[in-house]
Structure 1
Amino acid sequence: MARADINRSGEMEVFVQVVERGGFSAAARQLRMTPSAISKLVARLEGRLGTRLVNRTTRKLLLTPEGQTFYEHSVRILADMDEAERRASSHDDPRGVIRINTSAAYGTHVLARILGRFLETYPGISVEVIQTDLVVDLLAEKADIAVRAGAMPSSSLRARKLGETPLVIVASPTYLEKHGVPKTAADLEQHCRLGFGYVRAVREWPVAEGDVIVEVPVAGRLSASDGEALRHFAIGGVGLAQLAHFTVAEDLKAGRLVTVLDSALTRRKEPFHAVYVGQGGHLPARIRTMLDYLAEHGRVF
């Protein structure tokens, strides 16, 4: 039975801040405490629990498996407490900051279109968007939600599917006038194939030749860190790019880009997910609200 003089929710709040701020000093600034007081509180918590929660190094703080479990449960419990207080005081509007990590393409072509209405609908919520095509660790990056393309690997993370989009190979009309229109997979060898500057799960372009699927490697002389950059390079006539259809739909309508090898593409579709930590029933209202909004308004096709 817990001692009456132990403020367990206070301990949880301090520990969560230590994890999310990345150390004792940053947590101390946030909570207006001294680093030594934070350190003593965490040490006292570890002593009461009888296990080490964090491993301290000169440069960073690392969670032990027990610390990770305690952190995740603390986040859920504190969120439930906040929810209970809001409901009891009749202030049920979701509030707080939501940190979204997403690809440049999804941020540019989806979030930019829908977040204005979200902010109008939920005035108590602020949103911070971080764009990168690299897969990130949600806890390490302090992200509430990550929107990612590709199949979901098995993990402790939860996900809401936001649809699937076809992949198309595109180029500018000026590039095709100068270099010709590829008709087969073999023709692609003569073209500049724009690729990503990091390792991706899918590294080739699948092209059908009869009953055979030819995986054409991306071996151009130019690569970029995100799909939106590749889109601009393709529009600029640098080469061919394989991109999600929803990111180039307006360019195709306007004639800035055209598709090639339509009949030979395998129609492979790329799924998109909103990934988050924790069980849906234990999420803060602000995160549940955003997930529901993305599922309704942020779908890709």
Structure 2
Amino acid sequence: MARSEINRSGEMEVFVEVVQQGGFSAAARACRMTPSAVSKLVARLESRLGVRLVNRSTRALQLTAEGCAFYERAARILADIEDAERSAGAGEDPVGRIRLNTSASYATHVLAPILPMFLELHPGITLDLVQTDMVVDLLAERTDVAVRAGPLKSSSLVARRLGDTAMVIVAAPAYLDRFGEPKTIDDLERHNRLGFGYVRTVDGWPLKTGDTTTTLPAVGRVQASDGEALRRLALGGSGLARLARFTVQGDIAAGRLVPVLEHLNPGDREAFHAIHIGQGGPLPSRVRALLDFLAEHGRVS
């Protein structure tokens, strides 16, 4: 087929829909095509590129490494086309849907209070908010931006720092009245230490005595999948919890939670980043708008 006869942007658009919709049938509905036509188009694209983009051996859509790379580039190219057309038209306000993945704690204590401002600034943007403390695959989950806590691993992800926060062990006054306030590391052995139900970068509570830092496992009768659940358990008097200070500073100020063992606090801080796919390439204007907004208004401390 001659180069001039190939609708490259059309091929990219269909392939991107296949990835974002999670399969050929859903993409066919979005593109108003038949599943057979979508499958044939992807097959022609693979033949022309000389690589396999999608593994068809499983029910779930599974991209190859080449498919992932092509998807990232194609999505950016289509976003550039969209931005160029909008800039040449009536206005340049970003429009479209953003899928944002973040922890329940960040969503509750940082994002929720500032979201009305973002939506007012960008009336053409809709937000799909997914809350989980687990690290997700941005491509597999079709996520535009993720806000993550902790150190970053080297990858193809691009990160914008949103500050960092201190950590603090807290308990409800009613719990301390019942079981006593721990004063030493040994005292913690007699207390219910609420923890996370998955492996974290720092899997335990670091406590400092002199020049020595000891990491004590958060072994208790209750584990939870996110920090906000642990906060609520602590508020209910279920035990001690070690949490990011920005999530409990209001509770501490109101006397609902009390910091304990502050003299053993090693002063470690947890960094937060807004992450997206791509290495230095152009971003869709809607994603850039959210990243800029979070960098200004969504910082933690």
Q: With the length of structure 2 as denominator, give the TM-score of the two structures.
A: 0.98
Cα deviation, residue 280, structure 1 = 5.0
1:15-34 superposed matches below 5 A: 15-34=15-34
1:219 aligns with 2:219: yes
- Give the CA RMSD over aligned residues: 1.2
In structure 1, what is the Cα distance between the partners aligned to 2:48 and 2:87? 32
Task: String of CA shifts for 1:151-210, please: whole Å, max 9, x gaps.
Answer: 001111011110000000000111111111111111111100000111111111111111
1:258 partner amino acid: V
1:281-292 superposed matches below 5 A: 281-292=281-292
1:238-249 superposed matches below 5 A: 238-249=238-249
In structure 1, what is the Cα distance between the partners aligned to 2:248 and 2:61? 42
1:217 partner amino acid: P
1:268 aligns with 2:268: yes
1:56 aligns with 2:56: yes
Percentage of identical aligned residues: 64
In structure 1, what is the Cα distance between the partners aligned to 2:235 and 2:67? 49
- The 1:75/1:209 distance shift into structure 2, 3 A limit, reads same
Matching residue of 1:199: 199
1:143-158 superposed matches below 5 A: 143-158=143-158
Matching residue of 2:108: 108
1:135 aligns with 2:135: yes
1:232 aligns with 2:232: yes
In structure 2, what is the Cα distance between the partners aligned to 1:270 and 1:44? 47
**Contact preservation (8 Å) 1:280, 1:288:** no
Task: String of CA shifts for 1:263-284, please: whole Å, max 9, x gaps.
Answer: 2100110000111112455110
In structure 1, what is the Cα distance between the partners aligned to 2:224 and 2:64? 36
**Contact preservation (8 Å) 1:184, 1:209:** no
Matching residue of 2:257: 257
Aligned length: 301
Matching residue of 2:37: 37
State which drifts further: 288-297 or 203-212.
203-212
- The 1:4/1:259 distance shift into structure 2, 3 A limit, reads same
2:74 partner amino acid: S
1:48-87 superposed matches below 5 A: 48-87=48-87
In structure 2, what is the Cα distance between the partners aligned to 1:227 and 1:87? 42
Cα deviation, residue 31, structure 1 = 0.8
Corresponding residue SS for 2:118: helix
What runs of 5+ residues in structure 2 fail to find an aligned partner?
none
Corresponding residue SS for 1:208: strand
In structure 2, what is the Cα distance between the partners aligned to 1:111 and 1:213? 33
In structure 2, what is the Cα distance between the partners aligned to 1:29 and 1:46? 21
Q: With the length of structure 1 as denominator, give the TM-score of the two structures.
A: 0.98
1:186 partner amino acid: D
**Contact preservation (8 Å) 1:208, 1:264:** yes
**Contact preservation (8 Å) 2:156, 2:279:** no
In structure 2, what is the Cα distance between the partners aligned to 1:65 and 1:225? 30
Task: String of CA shifts for 1:18-51, please: whole Å, max 9, x gaps.
Answer: 1111111010011111000001101111111122
In structure 2, what is the Cα distance between the partners aligned to 1:280 and 1:179? 54
- The 1:281/1:65 distance shift into structure 2, 3 A limit, reads closer
In structure 2, what is the Cα distance between the partners aligned to 1:74 and 1:281? 11
Matching residue of 1:190: 190
What runs of 5+ residues in structure 1 fail to find an aligned partner?
none
2:210 partner amino acid: G
State which drifts further: 65-74 or 114-123.
65-74
Matching residue of 1:88: 88
Q: Return structure 1 stretches of 4+ with deviation > 3 angstroms.
A: none
In structure 1, what is the Cα distance between the partners aligned to 2:154 and 2:279? 15
